[in-house]
C-alpha cells in the first residue's frame, strides 16, 4: 500500500479516508439529497424540481436527472466565471511548435464562443441540430463545442485521426448538417489533411451537409467549394461578441460521441446537459483535488471522452485553468510532457498508461533532466496500468511526492467512477481502488447474481443511476437497452471483468466482450474484421488482441485470402491489408500483426475459436487447450508454425 502524502492531504477537499467513507455512506443512504447538493455547483436558470426519475417497462429502461431544471452548459463553463475571474486563464493552448503557448482568458473565451455561436446561427443551426466537429487540438475546437452548447446544438466530435469513411458514417448517423474542420492539422511536426478527408466524407453523404466551416490552422491553401465551404475567421469577424444562451432542459442532449462496441457499427453515446455537467464538475474537483490556483493539464485528445469531460466541461465548469496539448508525447523527444509541465507550472497532469510506457522505455534521463517541481497530482486513464509502470510514474515522474490517481470510467459513464482521492485513499499500484461517492459498483456472476463480500471476481456492473450516465444511443434506444441492461436486468453492464480484493479495492482484469483496448482506445474486433473483408483480397478474417509493450493490447489479424490473391507476394498482401484498415477506420486500428492463413480454427458448427487465436497471438503455443473437436485441427498446426516463423 502506498500511503497518502501528508502535504497533499493537508490542503485536500477530502483529506482522510474516514472523510471519504463518511461522504460515501451519506451518498448511498440519501442519493437524492447528495446529488441535489452536487447540482448546486452549477448555475441554473430554473432550479430542478426533482432529482432522479427512473422509468421501467417491458423490455426498456429510462432515467432522467434534475427534471424541471433549466441551464446552459456554456454559460456554466464560461459566462459565470467572467465576473469573478474574467482575467484568469481559462485555456492554455500548447501548440505543436515546441515552447509556443497561447493563453485565453475567461473573458476572451466568452467572446470567441459567442462569435462562433453566431456563425453557427447564421448558417441555420438551431436548438437540437447536430454539428459534426472534425478538428485537431486547437482553441477553435473548444470554442465550437461551447458555441454548440450555447445555442443548444448537439455536437458530435470525431477524432481527427479517423478516416474519411469513419467520418462519413458518423456524419450520416448523427444527421449533421454542418461540419466544422480545419484546412490541416499539425501533430508531431506532421500535417494532417483534414479538409481533404472532410471533402471525401461530405461528398459521400449526398447533400446532408449544407455548410462546411473551415479553420485555418496552417498556411496551406485548400480548395473551397462555393456555396458550401466558408472560413471560420472570415465568418467570425462579421459577428457580434455576444450571443444569448439558450435555456436548455436538464435532459436536453449536450453531445453525441461515438464509441466501439462488439458489433461493427460504432454507437453514438448520448450525454445530456444537467446531469452530465454536474457529474463532470463534481468528479473533476474531487479526483484531481482542484483548487483555484492549479494549472491543470489533461493531455488526451478532445476527440475522446476524456477530453470532453476533463479538458473542457469539468475544468471549465469549475473555473479552472486547463491546457489543450496539440502535440504528441515523443515530439520532438521524450521530454515533451515534462517541458510542458515546467514551462506552464502544471500542478495536475492526466494521461494514459500507453503514453507513460512509451516514455519509460526510452530511459529516465528524459524525465530527470526536467524539474517537474510544480506537480502535485498525476492521473492515468484508459486501461489498467501495470504496477511497475505505476511505480515508475510515482517514483520518477512524481519524484515520490505526487499522488497517483488511477481513474476507471467509460465513454458511457460520462465521468470517473472508481478512483483514489489524492488526499484520502492509500493506493495499491494497478488498482483503481474505491468507488466515488454516489457510485455503487457490483460484481455479478454469469448467472446474474450479485457476488457479495471481498476477495471475489465477476462482471463489473453499476447499481442504480448516476447523473453522468449516458441516456441512450443516438437513434437506437433499443440497442442501448440491449447492450447495457439486458444481460443482467437491473444493472448497468460495463463490459469489464473485475476483482474486488480483500480490502474491497477494485482491479479491472479485462473486457468480457470482443472489444480491444488499444492504447487506451476502444476498438471492436468486428469493426476491424469488416474493414478487412471489405477488401477483395479477403475471404474471411478474424481479429484478436495480443500483448503489446506500449499499446497494452495490440491488434492481431488472421486473414484467409480469396483465390485470386492467394498466390501473390505475402509481404505485399499484408501491406495492402494493413493499409486497407487504416483507410477504412483510421491509423489507430492498423493491425500490429497480420497473418495470411489457409483456414481458421472452427468448431464443427462453424464457430471461430477465438480463444485459440488469442493464444497463438500471445505465442502461448503450449496452452491451446483441446483442439480435437475442431472441424480441421491441422489448420492450427499450420498457423502455429507460421506464427513461430514470423510469417
CA distances in angstroms from 348 to 271, 299, 336, 370, 534, listed in the order given: 26, 11, 16, 16, 44
Burial 317-342 (b: 16+ CB within 10 A, else e): bbbbbbbbbbbbbbeeebbbbbbbbb
CA dihedral sign of residues 179, 183, 189, 190: positive
When asked if residue 407 is in the footprint of ligand WT7 (CB under 6 A), the reply is yes
| Least distance CB 495 / ligand WT7 (angstroms) | 6
Instruction: Find the binder of ligand WT7 among 511, 548, 570, 602 (CB under 6 A).
Output: 511
| Least distance CB 5 / ligand WT7 (angstroms) | 20
C-alpha cell at 646: 514470423
Cell 481527427, residue located: 160
Instruction: Give the nearer residue to ligand WT7 in terms of CB position, either 385 or 561.
Output: 385
> What are the backbone dihedrals phi and psi of residue 123, each rounded to the nearest 5 degrees, phi first?
-100, 20
When asked if residue 457 is in the footprint of ligand WT7 (CB under 6 A), the reply is no
* Nearby residues of 143 by Cβ (< 8 Å), 6 or more positions away: 109, 112, 113, 115, 116
| Least distance CB 339 / ligand WT7 (angstroms) | 25
Nearest to 416 by CA among 229, 286, 594: 286
> Cα separation of 272 and 250, whole Å?
7
Instruction: Give the nearer residue to ligand WT7 in terms of CB position, either 409 or 558.
Output: 409
When asked if residue 436 is in the footprint of ligand WT7 (CB under 6 A), the reply is no
Nearest to 170 by CA among 155, 183, 185: 155
Instruction: Give the nearer residue to ligand WT7 in terms of CB position, either 199 or 406.
Output: 406
Nearest to 326 by CA among 144, 201, 142: 142
198 and 167 in contact (C-beta within 8 Å)?
yes
Binding segment for ligand WT7 (CB under 6 A), chosen from 63-71, 186-194, 451-459, 493-501, is 493-501
Instruction: Give the nearer residue to ligand WT7 in terms of CB position, either 511 or 602.
Output: 511
When asked if residue 517 is in the footprint of ligand WT7 (CB under 6 A), the reply is yes
| Least distance CB 432 / ligand WT7 (angstroms) | 5
β-strands 515-518, 521-524 pairing: antiparallel
> Which of the residues 361 through 400 are near ligand WT7 (CB under 6 A)?
381-384
| Least distance CB 411 / ligand WT7 (angstroms) | 3
Instruction: Give the nearer residue to ligand WT7 in terms of CB position, either 306 or 459.
Output: 306
| Least distance CB 353 / ligand WT7 (angstroms) | 8
| Least distance CB 12 / ligand WT7 (angstroms) | 20
When asked if residue 251 is in the footprint of ligand WT7 (CB under 6 A), the reply is no
603-610, Cβ contacts within 8 angstroms, sequence gap of 24 or more: 603/629, 603/630, 603/631, 604/629, 604/630, 604/631, 606/631, 608/542, 610/514, 610/542, 610/544
When asked if residue 581 is in the footprint of ligand WT7 (CB under 6 A), the reply is no
Q: List % helix, strand, coil for the chain (3-state, nearest 5).
A: 35, 25, 40
CA distances in angstroms from 269 to 12, 156, 178, 266, 470, listed in the order given: 33, 10, 19, 9, 6
Instruction: Find the binder of ligand WT7 among 442, 508, 537, 624 (CB under 6 A).
Output: 508
> What are the backbone dihedrals phi and psi of residue 147, each rounded to the nearest 5 degrees, phi first?
-65, -40
CA angle 587, 590, 592 (to 5 degrees): 135
Instruction: Give the nearer residue to ligand WT7 in terms of CB position, either 76 or 517.
Output: 517
> Which of the residues 84 through 123 are near ligand WT7 (CB under 6 A)?
none
| Least distance CB 585 / ligand WT7 (angstroms) | 14
Print the binding letters for residues 522-561 with ligand WT7: x by CB under 6 A, - otherwise.
Answer: x---------------------------------------
| Least distance CB 421 / ligand WT7 (angstroms) | 15
| Least distance CB 604 / ligand WT7 (angstroms) | 33
Instruction: Give the nearer residue to ligand WT7 in terms of CB position, either 351 or 580.
Output: 351
Instruction: Find the binder of ligand WT7 among 169, 249, 496, 514 (CB under 6 A).
Output: 496
When asked if residue 283 is in the footprint of ligand WT7 (CB under 6 A), the reply is no
> What are the backbone dihedrals phi and psi of residue 213, each rounded to the nearest 5 degrees, phi first?
-100, 125
Instruction: Give the nearer residue to ligand WT7 in terms of CB position, either 366 or 409.
Output: 409
When asked if residue 429 is in the footprint of ligand WT7 (CB under 6 A), the reply is no
Instruction: Find the binder of ligand WT7 among 411, 465, 472, 553 (CB under 6 A).
Output: 411
378 and 434 in contact (C-beta within 8 Å)?
no
When asked if residue 307 is in the footprint of ligand WT7 (CB under 6 A), the reply is no
Q: How far is CA 545 from the centre of its chain?
A: 19
Instruction: Give the nearer residue to ligand WT7 in terms of CB position, either 357 or 522.
Output: 522
Q: What is the DSSP letter of 150?
A: H
Instruction: Give the nearer residue to ligand WT7 in terms of CB position, either 232 or 280.
Output: 280
When asked if residue 144 is in the footprint of ligand WT7 (CB under 6 A), the reply is no
When asked if residue 228 is in the footprint of ligand WT7 (CB under 6 A), the reply is no
215, 216, 222, 224: CA torsion to nearest 10: 40
The closest residue (CB) to ligand WT7 is 411
Q: Under the phi-then-psi rule, with left for phi > 0, alpha for psi from -120 to 50, and beta for the rest, what region is 345?
A: left
When asked if residue 306 is in the footprint of ligand WT7 (CB under 6 A), the reply is yes
When asked if residue 259 is in the footprint of ligand WT7 (CB under 6 A), the reply is yes
Q: What is the DSSP letter of 630?
A: B
Q: How far is CA 22 from the centre of its chain?
A: 31
| Least distance CB 144 / ligand WT7 (angstroms) | 21
Instruction: Find the binder of ligand WT7 among 79, 406, 514, 529 (CB under 6 A).
Output: 406
> Cα separation of 465 and 30, whole Å?
13
When asked if residue 408 is in the footprint of ligand WT7 (CB under 6 A), the reply is yes
When asked if residue 493 is in the footprint of ligand WT7 (CB under 6 A), the reply is no
| Least distance CB 375 / ligand WT7 (angstroms) | 19
Rounded to a whole number, what is the distance in angstroms from the first to the last CA of the chain? 44
Task: Tell me which H or E stretch contains 558.
Answer: strand 552-561
| Least distance CB 627 / ligand WT7 (angstroms) | 29
Binding segment for ligand WT7 (CB under 6 A), chosen from 13-21, 155-163, 213-221, 515-523, is 515-523
Residues that bind ligand WT7 (CB under 6 A): 259, 305-306, 381-384, 406-411, 432, 494-496, 508, 511, 517, 520-522
Amino acid at each position: 500500500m502506498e500511503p497518502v502524502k501528508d502535504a497533499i492531504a493537508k490542503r485536500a477537499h477530502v483529506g482522510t479516508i474516514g472523510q471519504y467513507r463518511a461522504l460515501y455512506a451519506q451518498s448511498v443512504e440519501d442519493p437524492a439529497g447528495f446529488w441535489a447538493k452536487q447540482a448546486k455547483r452549477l448555475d441554473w436558470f430554473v432550479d430542478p424540481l426533482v432529482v432522479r426519475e427512473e422509468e421501467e417497462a417491458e423490455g426498456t429502461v429510462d432515467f432522467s436527472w434534475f427534471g424541471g431544471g433549466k441551464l446552459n452548459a456554456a454559460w456554466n463553463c464560461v459566462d459565470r466565471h467572467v465576473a469573478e475571474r474574467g482575467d484568469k486563464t481559462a485555456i492554455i493552448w500548447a501548440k505543436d511548435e515546441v515552447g509556443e503557448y497561447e493563453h485565453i482568458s475567461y473573458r476572451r473565451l466568452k467572446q470567441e464562443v459567442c462569435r462562433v455561436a453566431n456563425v453557427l446561427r447564421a448558417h441555420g443551426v438551431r436548438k437540437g441540430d447536430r454539428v459534426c466537429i472534425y478538428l485537431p487540438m486547437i482553441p477553435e475546437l473548444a470554442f465550437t463545442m461551447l458555441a454548440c452548447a450555447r445555442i443548444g446544438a448537439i455536437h458530435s466530435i470525431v477524432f481527427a485521426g479517423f478516416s474519411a469513411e469513419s467520418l462519413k458514417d458518423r456524419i450520416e448517423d448523427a444527421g449533421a448538417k454542418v461540419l466544422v474542420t480545419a484546412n490541416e492539422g499539425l501533430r508531431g511536426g506532421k500535417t494532417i489533411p483534414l479538409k481533404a478527408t472532410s471533402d471525401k466524407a461530405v461528398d459521400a453523404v449526398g447533400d446532408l451537409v449544407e455548410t462546411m466551416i473551415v479553420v485555418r490552422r496552417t498556411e496551406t491553401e485548400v480548395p473551397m467549394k462555393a456555396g458550401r465551404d466558408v472560413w471560420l475567421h472570415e465568418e467570425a469577424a462579421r459577428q457580434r461578441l455576444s450571443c444569448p444562451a439558450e435555456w436548455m432542459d436538464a435532459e436536453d442532449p449536450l453531445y453525441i460521441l461515438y464509441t466501439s462496441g462488439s458489433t461493427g457499427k460504432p454507437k453514438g453515446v448520448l450525454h445530456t446537459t444537467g446531469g452530465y455537467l454536474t457529474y463532470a464538475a463534481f468528479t473533476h474537483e474531487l479526483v484531481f483535488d482542484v483548487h483555484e490556483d492549479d494549472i491543470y493539464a489533461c493531455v488526451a485528445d478532445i476527440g475522446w471522452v476524456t477530453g470532453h469531460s476533463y479538458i473542457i466541461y469539468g475544468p471549465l465548469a469549475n473555473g479552472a485553468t486547463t491546457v489543450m496539448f496539440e502535440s504528441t508525447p515523443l515530439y520532438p523527444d521524450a521530454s515533451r510532457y515534462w517541458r510542458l509541465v515546467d514551462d506552464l507550472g502544471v500542478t495536475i497532469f492526466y494521461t494514459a498508461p500507453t503514453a507513460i510506457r512509451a516514455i519509460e522505455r526510452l530511459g529516465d534521463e528524459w524525465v530527470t533532466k526536467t524539474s517537474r517541481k510544480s506537480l502535485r497530482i498525476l492521473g492515468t486513464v484508459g486501461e489498467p496500468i501495470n504496477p511497475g509502470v505505476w511505480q515508475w510514474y510515482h517514483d520518477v515522474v512524481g519524484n515520490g511526492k505526487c499522488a497517483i490517481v488511477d481513474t476507471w470510467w467509460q465513454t458511457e459513464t460520462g465521468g470517473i467512477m472508481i478512483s483514489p482521492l489524492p488526499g484520502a485513499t492509500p493506493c495499491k499500484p494497478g488498482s483503481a481502488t474505491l468507488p466515488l461517492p454516489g457510485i455503487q459498483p457490483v460484481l455479478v456472476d454469469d448467472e446474474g447474481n450479485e457476488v457479495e463480500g471481498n476477495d471475489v471476481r465477476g462482471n463489473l456492473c453499476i447499481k442504480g443511476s448516476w447523473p453522468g450516465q449516458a441516456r441512450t444511443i443516438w437513434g437506437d434506444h433499443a440497442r442501448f437497452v440491449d447492450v447495457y441492461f439486458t444481460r443482467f436486468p437491473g444493472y448497468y453492464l460495463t463490459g469489464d471483468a473485475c476483482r474486488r480484493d480483500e480490502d474491497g479495492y477494485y482491479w479491472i482484469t479485462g473486457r468480457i466482450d470482443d472489444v480491444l483496448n488499444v492504447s487506451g482506445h476502444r476498438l471492436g474486433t468486428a469493426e476491424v474484421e469488416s474493414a478487412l473483408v471489405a477488401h477483395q483480397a479477403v475471404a474471411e478474417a478474424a481479429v484478436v488482441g495480443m500483448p503489446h509493450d506500449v499499446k497494452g493490447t495490440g491488434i492481431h489479424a488472421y486473414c484467409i485470402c480469396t483465390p485470386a490473391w492467394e498466390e501473390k507476394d505475402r509481404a505485399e498482401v499484408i501491406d495492402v491489408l494493413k493499409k486497407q484498415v487504416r483507410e477504412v477506420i483510421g491509423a489507430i486500428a492498423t493491425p500490429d500483426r497480420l497473418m495470411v492463413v489457409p483456414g481458421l480454427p472452427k468448431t464443427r458448427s462453424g464457430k471461430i475459436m477465438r480463444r485459440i487465436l488469442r493464444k497463438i497471438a500471445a505465442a502461448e503455443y503450449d496452452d491451446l487447450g483441446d483442439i480435437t473437436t475442431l472441424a480441421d485441427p491441422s489448420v492450427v498446426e499450420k498457423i502455429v508454425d507460421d506464427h513461430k516463423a514470423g510469417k
